[in-house]
A and B are shown apart, each in its own frame.
Chain A
Amino acid sequence: MTTTLTSHRPRPPAQPPTLRARRLPKWLPPAVALGALLVAAAIVYGAGIGGPVLVVVVGALLYLVGLFAAANAVEGRRSARNRTWSALIHSAFVLAVLPLASVVWTLVTKGLERFDVNFFLTSMNNIGARDPQGGAYHAIVGTLIQVGIAALITIPIGILCAIYVVEYGRGRFAFAIRFFVDVMTGIPSIVSGLFVLAFWVLVVSPYFSSTGRPGFSGFAAALALSVLMLPTVVRSTEEMLRLVPAPLREGAYALGVPKWKTILRVVLPTALPGIVTGVMLAIARAAGETAPVLLVAGGGAAINFNPFENNQSSLALFVYQQAGDASRYAPARAWTAALTLVALVLVLTVAAKLLARRNRLGR
């Protein structure tokens, strides 16, 4: 027994404990990076197996290995792991930003060519294949009208639906709503377009049109976009409402405030910034949809301000059509329209966020 006891006694530390530890010199990590790139270049070009991209990839891997080895030798294992993971996380960030930056760069460089007054003030009406002019005015109008109507439909319905599910829904009915909203999230846009085509354009629209025949319309496109936006709005609003702490609601109840007023004046304002973000995500997604617009609004070259009759185009559809067009002037128009679409969504998002913030108090 005594032997086991003594053998379990903690060993005294080999060195007196100090707070300072040996650190890699500042210049070493960049030096390792440079060395790794050089070695990688030598390998890749020496063996003739690839270009600069492969050099960077191999170099990054070599850098991780080299950094680990150097840190392990000087600073010890824990610190080496820390450095390697930090480097990995930073590279993941770079990897995530790279495509984004490259998209923005491509859009801006290629889109600026036709980013002129003519593009924003003319439609494609009477523009032939040899015509360098022509613009997206009709498409911008179409996108704004269709997305605007879709937002008018989905924002109230979606928010009310989320309020019902979070604040009032009990039992089966609420469960069913949540289930169907989940299912709706997965509906492909082409299916939503087909649904509106079959239901609205072919069956309902004849009753509204002056000719009595079925017809394409911007409103039909708005309906199809609504089907796509609704689940996003409901789900994001639902999440945001759930995040509002229960004591806040109870604080209002305890003042004798009725439940509906508590929701309207306390819960919704608290959740507003998050709800706005969700709504803007839905709008951005809808603005980028091509298939449903093609199916039920039909596209078109002329300006049409009336959402209830005749064909309407949209920016996404315009991009699709111009990108596939044989005219040598079409690709430039497609790029500029794509840039316009992104800029539009960006401006709307920023504006909505600023509005939501205005309602909150400055800190």
Chain B
Amino acid sequence: MAKRIDAANVTAYYGAFKAIENINITVEPKTVTALIGPSGCGKSTFLRSINRMHEVLPGARVEGSLTIDGQDIYHRDVDVTAVRRTIGMVFQRPNPFPTMSIFENVVAGLRLNGVKKKSILDEAAEKALRSANLWDEVKDRLGKPGAGLSGGQQQRLCIARTIAVEPQVVLMDEPCSALDPISTLAIEDLMFQLKDKFTIIIVTHNMQQAARVSDRTAFFSIEKTGDPGRLIEYDNTQKIFSNPSQKKTEDYITGRFG
């Protein structure tokens, strides 16, 4: 199910501004890859170009090649919505749909893509909520608004919503940065479980988190403001955190920079 992602010379622009330049990364299936680096170095930009969310902004565009199991994500015959269904995304701030109940939030992706049958939706909702470790907390109030949950629960709801459409890759952009430590732990646990089925790429500012959850780590950085972000080092997480080959990586990880 899970797929392998290849990025070759990926460069992304906001209008005339080049935000990232020549990123080359290969992400293996069923692994967790962490993207770390100082603010503004283009981690979110790179993440969003993987599921073609980057181009949603006016003037934004991507160059280079991004493939999923050898299929070009940016090929002109490709259906954007199919790409996004295959590569799901969880955002920094939990963003449940405010007009929908918990249940409707979880099945939103299925329903808005035309699944109508109640039994299928019920089953999918329970499965997704169980995978997101949220089922026991919400099973008695599925009809209540999703916005009424706590921040951590909302984020798990958003994860449930994402995995309910059965993607193969899940992108997470600082999914814990708006959450308390307990909720953060809950989501980290969740990532370990999700790894069995999905390929996960996560942006995080938290080194310990990157070290705890990821198999591979990519370190991004910029020379100075206004320069495009670049990939400095990409290796096994253990190697990056114990014995990085680049001086810059070491400086960042030991807290001397960034």
Q: Give A residues with C-beta under 8 Å from B.
A: 170, 245, 247-258, 261-262, 265-266, 269-270, 272, 359-361, 363
Contacts and interface: CB of A to CB of B under 8 A. Distances in A.
Contacts of A269: 99
Contact of A266 (B97, B148, B158): B97
A175 to B, nearest CB: 14
Contacts of B143: 361
A248 B91 CA distance: 10
Given A170-B58, A250-B91, A251-B158, A257 B81 contact: yes
B210 interface: no
Interface of B: 51, 53, 56, 58, 81-86, 88-89, 91, 93, 95-101, 108-109, 112-113, 143-145, 148, 158, 161-162, 165
A253 B101 CA distance: 19
A257 to B, nearest CB: 4
3 shortest A-B CB distances, which residue pairs? Answer: A256-B85, A255-B109, A254-B89
Contact of A258 (B81, B89, B100, B148): B81
A245 B81 CA distance: 21
A255 B112 contact: yes
A254 B89 CA distance: 6
A270 to B, nearest CB: 6
B180 to A, nearest CB: 20
Given A248-B98, A361-B101, A254 B113 contact: no
B56 to A, nearest CB: 6
Given A248-B97, A270-B98, A254 B88 contact: yes
Contacts of A361: 99-101, 143-145
Given A251-B158, A261-B112, A361-B144, A256 B98 contact: no
Contacts of A170: 58
Nearest to A256: B85
Contacts of B97: 248, 251-252, 266, 270
A145 B161 CA distance: 46
Given A250-B53, A261-B112, A363-B145, A256 B99 contact: no
A247 B112 CA distance: 17
Which among B83, B89, B109, B112 has the greatest number of chain A C-beta atoms within 10 A?
Answer: B112
A251 B96 CA distance: 8
Contact of A248 (B83, B95, B112, B148): B95
A34 B51 CA distance: 71
A360 B82 CA distance: 30
Given A170-B58, A248-B98, A254-B162, A363 B148 contact: yes
Contacts of B100: 361
A256 to B, nearest CB: 3
B91 A256 contact: no
B145 A256 contact: no
A245 B89 CA distance: 17
A13 B84 CA distance: 65
B125 to A, nearest CB: 14
A247 B95 CA distance: 6
A262 to B, nearest CB: 8
